[in-house]
């Protein structure tokens, strides 16, 4: 079946913007003015505003060989909403900038926007503007996410205190092994185009890399239970690197328990198949977009009520450094690349 291909040039820039935003509906009461003017207008009704921006570049952050455009649109929004969650805030709006070459058809961009709108609908976020430009080669995506938080209630990376418990949502390492699997199947396909990828029973880890979900549910659960994290960050680069950010910016140290790091069975199995230490996938893998935060010890009774949250260690004085306590009971210095196995 021939797929229809409409050239972007046939619509022109303004025609394309109109086309991509023709069904754009706003859901937020605070959206006073959306797409169509020089700027959007948002009323945050006395809340404080949280803003975060991220770029996604073809060949650097994504590979269209195994990333469906719809997933890419969803992920571009999701990873930005995750940054808003990491501030303990609720995402409300995004703007989306794209740089595109004539390699893309209008239909291809429609698919991308389908993912964008799906993420917006799922997370009750309004797309209120953006910019559209031509790009000579790669697909360039930039999203700015806006969120709201009650005055003074935002959570930074710098509030962790000695004896705080270190908590993480969901499970870790899945996105990394998912990516390794997609890269392997791409190599096999390039060497032998007849071979179909074998991705059965791998839905979980593939979903972790292609369709991450921002943990708005964790933020609202914490608010409901009146648990205010002292420090929080989202896991885009791997547990070690994010935990070291919290330690550095809070001026503290930490002990992380290897046996407490939450991991999905599929992640562990895939790691063994690739001959990688599953712990290393969690520590250095990244792209899991879970929330890492610290709480006062008194909150322990409340935090255990959530099956979605694991306590994985505790905060120490800065002088004690940042360490991983292995399953065997050995202490390893935590480094941004993971941990140094030779240093006891």
Residue 185 CB: number of other CB atoms within 10 A? 19
- Residue of 56, 77, 84, 98 that binds ligand ADP (CB under 6 A): 98
Calculate the alpha carbon distances from 263 to 231, 232, 270, 304 in Å: 23, 20, 11, 17
Nearest position to ligand ADP, beta carbon? 129
The sign one gets for the Cα dihedral 281, 283, 285, 286 is: positive
Q: Does 20 bind ligand ADP (CB under 6 A)?
A: yes
By beta-carbon proximity to ligand ADP, the closer residue of 20 and 324 is 20
Residue 130 interacts, among Mg ion, ligand ADP, none and using kind-specific CB cut-offs from 5 to 8 Å, with ligand ADP
Residue 201's closest CA among 265, 264, 263, 266? 266
| Beta strands 90-100 and 126-134, pairing class | parallel
The C-alpha atoms of residue 154 and residue 143 are separated, in whole angstroms, by 21
Residue 42 interacts, among Mg ion, ligand ADP, none and using kind-specific CB cut-offs from 5 to 8 Å, with none
Instruction: Name every residue whose Cβ is closer than 8 Å to that of residue 229 and which is 6 or more positions away in sequence.
Output: 88, 155, 159, 167, 222, 293, 294, 295
Q: What is the largest CA-CA distance in the chain?
A: 66
Contacts with ligand ADP, 136-175, as mask; x by CB under 6 A: ----------------------------------------
Q: Three-state SS for 94?
A: strand
In the region spanning residues 121 to 140, those forming contacts with Mg ion, defined by CB under 5 A, are: 131
The C-alpha atoms of residue 235 and residue 290 are separated, in whole angstroms, by 5
Q: Which two tokens stand for residue 274?
A: 């690739």
The C-alpha atoms of residue 312 and residue 292 are separated, in whole angstroms, by 10
| Beta strands 252-257 and 322-325, pairing class | parallel
By beta-carbon proximity to Mg ion, the closer residue of 98 and 283 is 98
Q: Does 201 bind ligand ADP (CB under 6 A)?
A: no
Contacts with ligand ADP, 303-332, as mask; x by CB under 6 A: ------------------------------
By beta-carbon proximity to ligand ADP, the closer residue of 130 and 253 is 130
Q: Does 96 bind ligand ADP (CB under 6 A)?
A: yes
Listed ranges 69-77, 125-133, 142-150, 252-260: which one lies at the site for ligand ADP (CB under 6 A): 125-133
In the region spanning residues 29 to 48, those forming contacts with ligand ADP, defined by CB under 6 A, are: 35-38
By beta-carbon proximity to ligand ADP, the closer residue of 17 and 325 is 17
Q: Does 7 bind Mg ion (CB under 5 A)?
A: no
Q: Does 131 bind ligand ADP (CB under 6 A)?
A: yes
- Residue of 8, 21, 214, 240 that binds ligand ADP (CB under 6 A): 21
- Residue of 73, 99, 129, 212 that binds ligand ADP (CB under 6 A): 129
First to last CA, the chain: 61
Q: Within 13 A of 166's CA, how many CA atoms are on the CB side?
A: 29
Q: Does 271 bind ligand ADP (CB under 6 A)?
A: no
Q: Does 130 bind ligand ADP (CB under 6 A)?
A: yes
Which residues contribute to the site for Mg ion (CB under 5 A)?
131
**Which residues would be at the binding site for ligand ADP (CB under 6 A)?**
17, 20-21, 35-38, 96, 98, 127, 129-132
């Amino acid at each position: 079946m021939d797929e229809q291909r409409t050239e972007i040039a046939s619509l022109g820039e303004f025609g394309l913007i109109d086309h991509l935003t023709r069904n754009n509906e706003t859901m937020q009461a605070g959206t006073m003015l959306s797409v169509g003017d020089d700027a959007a207008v948002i009323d945050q009704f006395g809340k404080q505003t949280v803003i975060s921006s991220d770029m996604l570049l073809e060949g650097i952050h994504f590979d269209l060989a195994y990333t469906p455009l719809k997933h890419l649109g969803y992920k571009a929004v999701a990873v930005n909403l995750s940054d808003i969650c990491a501030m303990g805030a609720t995402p409300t709006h995004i703007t989306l900038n794209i740089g595109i070459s004539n390699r893309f058809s209008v239909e291809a961009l429609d698919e991308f926007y389908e993912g964008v709108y799906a993420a917006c609908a799922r997370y009750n976020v309004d797309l209120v503007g953006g910019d559209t430009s031509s790009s000579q080669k790669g697909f360039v995506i930039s999203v700015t996410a806006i969120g709201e938080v009650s005055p003074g209630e935002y959570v930074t990376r710098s509030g962790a205190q000695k004896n705080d418990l270190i908590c993480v949502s969901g499970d870790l390492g899945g996105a990394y092994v998912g990516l390794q699997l997609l890269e392997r199947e791409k190599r096999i396909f390039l060497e032998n185009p007849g071979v179909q990828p074998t991705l059965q029973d791998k839905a979980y880890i593939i979903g972790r890399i292609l369709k991450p979900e921002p943990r708005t549910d964790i933020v609202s659960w914490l608010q409901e239970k009146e648990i205010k994290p002292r420090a929080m960050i989202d896991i885009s680069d791997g547990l070690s690197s994010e935990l070291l950010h919290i330690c550095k910016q809070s001026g503290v140290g930490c002990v992380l328990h290897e046996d407490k790091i939450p991991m999905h069975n599929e992640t562990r199995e895939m790691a063994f198949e690739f001959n990688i230490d599953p712990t290393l996938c969690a520590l250095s893998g990244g792209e899991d977009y879970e929330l890492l935060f610290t709480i006062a010890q008194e909150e322990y009774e409340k935090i255990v009520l959530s099956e979605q949250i694991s306590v994985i260690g505790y905060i120490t004085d800065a002088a004690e450094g940042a360490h991983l306590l292995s399953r065997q009971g050995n202490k390893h210095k935590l480094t941004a690349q993971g941990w140094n196995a030779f240093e006891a």
